[in-house]
Amino acid sequence: MNVYEFQVKNQKGELVNLQDLKGKVSLIINSATGCGFTPQYEDLQALYNNYKDQGFEILDFPCNQFGDQAPGSNEEIATFCSSRFGITFPIFSKIDVNGENAEPLFAFLKEQKGFKGFQEGHPLTPVLHDILSKAQPNYKETADIKWNFTKFLIDKNGVVIERFEPVEDIKLIEERIKELV
């Protein structure tokens, strides 16, 4: 099984077949417009600009499961992203990434690449640990998405190559993308 076997809803609620990604390298993210990590949109758009002509795509899935940080409608989220950060990569319908209503694509992504911890030394790592351990003391033991801006790198064959937590350095992600395009 690979990501090409899934269908997701675009911003307008229309089904999109991920088979259209065949032969492309993709970065699939869950995002939020009111998060401390939201400025990552600048780096993500730069990545998209630099590699889209080499067969690179970003698929952005807003999610309101973490701190109620994506409360807007699909249209409001897309408008915010394009006007504030100049986002030109596709933004899909808002989804859940964890729990019984989790988008099947994200259930698959988590199954393929579970949580391996947050980058040590990042100033937000202890903050995330504190928030998560209060809500779920054994959070490190589950594959669940832990916060907004978790990213999954997909190769040209639809295989999940790597999972990056929100505190991961964008330069490392770019190095991995360069290896695959």
**Active site positions, annotated:** 35
Q: What is the number of residues in the chain?
A: 181
Q: Return the ∠ at Cα 45 (arms to 55 and 8), rounded to 5°.
A: 65
List, in order, residues 6 or more apart from 179 with CB less than 8 Å away: none
Q: Are 102 and 150 in contact (CB under 8 A)?
A: no
